[in-house]
Structure 1
């Protein structure tokens, strides 16, 4: 019904193609990258649009890289940001705010880390820890170069 309603409207309002066929979605994901499409959105067809939160996932064309966790801001068991280094010569950078589920998982992994004091990065104080924890971050992510943590390694 929505497609019928928008049929004669035209840009800047236009319907977004949708499919429930995974093969078609994967074809779009691969084929449309050269046109500058950053990725696709995945949502269960039967799922509603809950108010105030998203019920879908963005699947972007991105490269990732590993970063060593050297600290965190906020409470240890639910850190808000991670202090990260992408390589041993790079300065420490703070990540974008962690998603709640990921923050809990990382917090559990940090629970036994040895605290070695406080440091500063990007004008914010973080708790420095010694840990071998590595996370995957989006390469060149964020509008201001902020590292976006995707998952723990």
Structure 2
């Protein structure tokens, strides 16, 4: 299941009547971990189906010690210098060992117990089973920090921002685990940095721009995403009307209309690779 991105953290009744489970969102490799007993090596399945066990021996060894038949949906993370460090996952295992990088498998769901498929159970029940299954398990395998209290989750997110916590994953407490998609019962909210940027061009009809080409103050150029809302489109079209040059073809963004006099905008930059959500034009 993959959560859909949302611009705000939903309220406790925002994903259905059974409540919401708020989990810390960590930046790592998504991994379904299969414990297969002492006679078979564990399988650490990436999103593409590849086995990650050979690349992350400490995690494979920890999963091998779990009861055979336990299947966890988790995030494989790296920790260095007091922060989650995604870039360390991209290095070789020898380099990570030399630099004393800590690895962890942060489990946020249990899909099977020994001899029992539990995906059809409500998430709230699976959470209780997950905590019970890992109650006596030491790191590097541990359950994700989660709560049903929205205010508490928001506090965690802010307090742990300096450690690299990206945001929150919010899940309907009554949701079953559907292998082919989460729909809107799982959503993710990323903390973002609100910054000023220069609007260099627009895409789409001049009267109804679909997106804006933004240059951040650090030199990065991004196309706003998602597309402008109807209200935002009107707010951009009016001041841009007398500033649009002739259309040109940009190799990255297609047909655009450059602004002869740039506008300044407020945007929220999130994610990896970064995306820029248009907020509004600056009043000045």
| Conserved? CA contact 1:63–1:138, under 8 Å | yes
C-alpha displacement of 1:67: 1.0
Counterpart among 151, 164, 179 of residue 36 in structure 1: 164
Q: Which of these two proteins has the greater Rg computed from alpha carbons?
A: 2
In structure 1, runs of 5+ residues without a counterpart are none
C-alpha change, 1:82 and 1:54, in structure 2 (3 Å) is farther
- 1:58 is aligned to 189
C-alpha change, 1:14 and 1:78, in structure 2 (3 Å) is farther
CA distance in 2, matches of 1:37, 1:78: 34
CA distance in 1, matches of 2:219, 2:165: 31
- 1:103 is aligned to 229
Q: List per-residue Cα deviations over 1:41-95 (Å, max 9, x = no partner).
A: 356768999x6644535042x433111222122344251x4212234x947x232
C-alpha displacement of 1:2: 1.0
CA distance in 1, matches of 2:174, 2:205: 37
CA distance in 1, matches of 2:251, 2:213: 10
TM-score, normalised to structure 2, is 0.39
TM-score, normalised to structure 1, is 0.63
| Conserved? CA contact 2:167–2:188, under 8 Å | no
- 1:25 is aligned to 153
RMSD, matched Cα: 3.9
CA distance in 1, matches of 2:235, 2:161: 36
1:8 to 2:133 alignment: yes
In structure 2, runs of 5+ residues without a counterpart are 1-124
1:132 to 2:263 alignment: yes
Counterpart among 203, 208, 226 of residue 73 in structure 1: 203
